Amino acid sequence: MENSSAKSGFIAFIREQGVVGLAIAFILGGAIQKVISSLVADLVQPAVGLIFGSTSGLASLHVGSLMYGRFLSNVIDFVIIAGIVYLLFKRFGLERLDLTKNT
């Protein structure tokens, strides 16, 4: 009986505090950070270096050195991670955990 009480208390905590949504946001936040870092490092900084001349670390870059492949790889990684999180979220019925007790 005590185990069932602890389990229902834990589920109530998750539901009331929105822990599932927070966990998903944390995972996707890490993935989107990677995409944004790649956008800046692989596309924006080289383009700025080409437009404004020599800048720190960008002096030797040429038009062909835009690393769009690495950026696309990071975008694909993000889409895959987001898809897996979504499928797990739906598969295990976790969307029901964030519903309030009144619904």
Contact 26, 58 (CB under 8 A): no
Tell me how crowded residue 42 is: count the other CB atoms within 10 A of its CB.
20
pLDDT tens-digit profile of 73-83?
778 778 888 88
Helices (H), 39-67: 45-52
**Cα dist from 65 to 37, 73, 75, 76, whole Å:** 17, 16, 19, 20
pLDDT of residue 15: 78
Domain edges within the chain: 2-98
Which pLDDT band holds residue 12 (cuts at 50, 70, 90)?
Answer: confident
